[in-house]
Chains A and B, each alone.
Chain A
């Protein structure tokens, strides 16, 4: 197994998510899924693994696509269709390009008035939806079922929402997508797993569009449990021929706090750098942690962003909450966090609203995660930095 930081992993490098994979497969049989998790938890790697898994046993054709780069609905559809057409089964379904061209350009102009004064053009919305519906109709005619894994959907939704103050475009898109998912012929043959780290729910709430996503089963990807994290580290150590004993592995987990592969990998990498050819020790680990914490530019950007993003007095409220969370690696209960704001927001109703809103922001912006009804720092290193340096 290789220690890969940042890039999605597959094959031998994909580790420790067997339970999650089985669970997703089981749910996928009956429901579409909205897979949400903070960044760097391993969603993309899990999606890739799921696609590979279903394809391997031929229970479905898995097609992965990331739609973050899509600027509009046509590009979204194009990206999804491309991912389907690139599979072995999908190649046969790709429409004739000439027919596609004729359809696009033939439909574009219905008529030209005499002397070229007017041109009657098809509506934009109808066009891309029609294209998409036609393509999926073709796909659904194939025998095999499809599992389409769409990554970074919330990013795409936010992209179109940015140009859509009324919410109509977002509604139109999400409604179309819901309709696609709800097609009778799709129920057994077309399944979607939609993944993202930024809150889709906040967009849908803002524009009152929750009805467009209420058919999705909400599923969260969390950290490793302690045993899996330990096995992960043991496997990494084995592949790098490093003698990292159980106690040292336990300490690594202690430093990472929230046991996502990314945090474990970063610390493991820093430990490797420190130990070099020697047997890693606790002293090496402590020094490695200090090396990571010494990246003040990296950590201070989190602090500075609060000021920029929230302004006064909300950034002070946010700091109060983060300050409370910084003192306990296990995090703090919501009620206690509200109490942090008691001095600044005396009215309990207002305080509750403010706390809930701030927690939303802090989760969406990657500071905190919720685990077992407690709010904790997503990164153990960031928590330590905050505890040490932020008053």
Chain B
């Protein structure tokens, strides 16, 4: 077996490592290792406790200490390290513990070739077997200490899972303490995943008894040394290359590993396996490797503990006992007890909450938490919520955007769920709304393409929460898929040159038809039999002109409408819809103008205010568009709508410059108001938006127009009077003959829209 394979196998069980491999791979925690050996060199007499979460390197350190003693001539003369199985399952009484110590001593003697000594000890132990338990404990301890005294050696008890051992010996703590307090050449170096309860309780025999050393996360430089050390040992130079070439990537991965040596060792394995530089894929590999281990740990927990772990893990950030109780619907006392127990087991850790005296609880091993989120949570955003923070840190704003674009261009992977989860994670991470929207829409498309049913989608997306804005998108995307499916299933005899796919595409991409009508049409077609349908032919013919050649809108927008990612122009309902159009527009200002104008005209000015506001935020060019809409609304006798649209342009927008284009549309609006007998209202409106000073000539002209013929502007200062008089003349010009509200220059298309509007007779 190669060194690399051995290292990989022994990740969860350092006892399996060859001595030389363990010593060579021990590159972190040197300071503590040296301190402990130094303490032994000074004569021991101090018991130590190593406290650290699972995977922090406690067992490895204990083994290293054993080898360190044996390899140091002076220490080897003065000490004998006693090694025990990692879990001393057979310990339930003090006699068991001391007998285990004697066994360990016998093993040590055998290992060092002292077979005679080992045999003698074995014989002495045999004599104890028939004794009553208390006697056996006393005699076994005496045997041990007598041996130490005779040999003039310290016995260094390297006890892993010290907390479990003490728990099993809870009835015998005082005798154990007394044995360890006596000057009998016994030194304990124990390891525990948590602070020993016994060392925290004032009345407890072991209160403040041990010199505690916390094995916290490795700092970044030590973590790097560890991984590089493993790379050298396992002969994986590619890992060294990756770390040297991309220190940022290592840093980000280091953050996720929490500086835990075990997870760092796994990370080495993943980097060595060779990936294409995508850190998210590194993580996928790492999580795959950890699954058997973490699953086993989780499955071993009793049901109630699993419930608590579930709540804490899904929360990701530290959670108080009260909040955990609320999530799990268990009593606070029950939850508190379980949380404490899980802390003692090392599965959870207590964390200071900012600005509060209470502590929160979180999964101690952060990678375990990540694993749990990835495997156990169906909510995609929650699953990768941690990834969002990571992406922001790792990529930085600019690269994040680039990476997000790359992701959009990447073909679908094996798992649509994973793809969707990543897309949503990036969507949460990026700032630019258009890019965010595209990522979200891609995620939705991936899920719908995977034929995820409604129940599955509800599990994966928080359609009543954070993802509520995606609910209508999901519905549309499914509807467009449904539409295409119906048409493709239909048995209509298509006219020459027309195919079901072309027809479906044209129908779906039509921006003017409401969705409900498209579906109705598709249903109508799907019910036709093989007989040719003249009316249908005519309709089909009208759709033959590829919609995508419609130059009103970009091909991407039309495709977006066709796929359902974007609503039709009658169906603009949310600010996110605006973002969607903005994301797909080639010429943002112009296309968004057309979208908003079309929406207003098609819905008779029923576009939601939130959509209008969002459009204004996205593009300043919407401001004149709204003035144009206000003009049309006045002409249609809809003063309240017109007023609202003008207000939306100017309220909370004192910074908004009055460009010549805006001034032009404002004047047109004013003219329409005068023609509709609303001159005074228009003037009042200017005052309401605080622009009467800035637009004094127009304001005065409106007042004069309202006052009727003979109104004079003579009272105005010359610099105001002259433009006011010009404007008054303009305002009083007679109206031209009526024209349609369609977009100028697109009369044919607009005409079709009108006919459809009449036929529909309703909004969607």
Write the residues of chain A forming the contact surface with B, with a CB cutoff of 8 angstroms. 2-10, 13, 39-40, 44, 66, 68-69, 152, 155, 198, 262, 269, 273, 276, 295-298, 300-301, 303, 305, 365-366, 389-391
Contacts A/B (CB < 8 Å), 8 sampled: A2-B42, A2-B46, A7-B180, A8-B181, A66-B174, A68-B174, A300-B359, A391-B357
The answer to the question of B589 belonging to the interface, with a C-beta cut-off of 8 Å to chain A, is no
Write the residues of chain B forming the contact surface with A, with a CB cutoff of 8 angstroms. 31, 35, 42-43, 45-47, 172, 174-175, 177-178, 180-181, 183, 194-195, 197, 200-203, 205, 207-211, 214, 343, 349-352, 357, 359
Are B194 and A297 touching (Cβ within 8 A)? yes
Residue of B nearest to A3 (CB): B46
Residue from B35, B178, B207, B210 in contact with A69 in the complex, judged by beta carbons closer than 8 Å:
B178
Chain B residues with CB below 8 A from A298, complex form: 195, 200
Chain A residues with CB below 8 A from B181, complex form: 7-8, 44, 66
Inter-chain CA distance A226–B349, complex, in Å, is 38
Are B343 and A297 touching (Cβ within 8 A)? yes
Inter-chain CA distance A231–B178, complex, in Å, is 30
Residue from A6, A7, A155, A390 in contact with B357 in the complex, judged by beta carbons closer than 8 Å:
A390
Residue from A9, A39, A66 in contact with B207 in the complex, judged by beta carbons closer than 8 Å:
A39
> B424 to nearest A CB, angstroms?
35
Are B195 and A389 touching (Cβ within 8 A)? no
Chain B residues with CB below 8 A from A198, complex form: 203
Chain A residues with CB below 8 A from B343, complex form: 297
Are A276 and B31 touching (Cβ within 8 A)? yes
Are B203 and A365 touching (Cβ within 8 A)? yes
Residue from B35, B45, B174, B352 in contact with A4 in the complex, judged by beta carbons closer than 8 Å:
B45
Chain A residues with CB below 8 A from B207, complex form: 39-40, 366
Are B183 and A6 touching (Cβ within 8 A)? no
By Cβ-Cβ distance, the 8 closest A-B pairs, closest first, are: A366-B202, A69-B175, A69-B174, A68-B174, A301-B200, A5-B211, A6-B209, A389-B357
A6-B46 contact, Cβ under 8 Å, with A298-B195, A300-B359:
yes
A5-B46 contact, Cβ under 8 Å, with A66-B181, A262-B208:
yes
Are B352 and A296 touching (Cβ within 8 A)? yes
Residue of B nearest to A5 (CB): B211
> A203 to nearest B CB, angstroms?
13
Are B42 and A296 touching (Cβ within 8 A)? no
Chain A residues with CB below 8 A from B195, complex form: 295, 297-298, 301
Are B208 and A10 touching (Cβ within 8 A)? no
Residue of B nearest to A303 (CB): B357
Are A6 and B210 touching (Cβ within 8 A)? yes
> A58 to nearest B CB, angstroms?
21
Chain A residues with CB below 8 A from B43, complex form: 2
Residue of A nearest to B204 (CB): A39
Residue from A9, A68, A391 in contact with B177 in the complex, judged by beta carbons closer than 8 Å:
A68
Inter-chain CA distance A152–B203, complex, in Å, is 11
Question: Which of A44, A66, A390 is packed against the most chain B CB atoms within 10 Å?
Answer: A66
Chain B residues with CB below 8 A from A269, complex form: 211
Residue of B nearest to A12 (CB): B43
Inter-chain CA distance A13–B180, complex, in Å, is 17
Chain B residues with CB below 8 A from A2, complex form: 42-43, 45-46
> A3 to nearest B CB, angstroms?
8
Are A39 and B174 touching (Cβ within 8 A)? no
Question: Which of A2, A6, A40, A389 is packed against the most chain B CB atoms within 10 Å?
Answer: A6
Inter-chain CA distance A297–B196, complex, in Å, is 10
Are B46 and A300 touching (Cβ within 8 A)? no
Inter-chain CA distance A301–B200, complex, in Å, is 7
Chain B residues with CB below 8 A from A273, complex form: 31, 35
Chain B residues with CB below 8 A from A13, complex form: 45
Residue of A nearest to B45 (CB): A4
Inter-chain CA distance A5–B207, complex, in Å, is 11
Chain B residues with CB below 8 A from A68, complex form: 174, 177-178, 205
Inter-chain CA distance A262–B132, complex, in Å, is 39
> B678 to nearest A CB, angstroms?
63
Are A365 and B202 touching (Cβ within 8 A)? yes
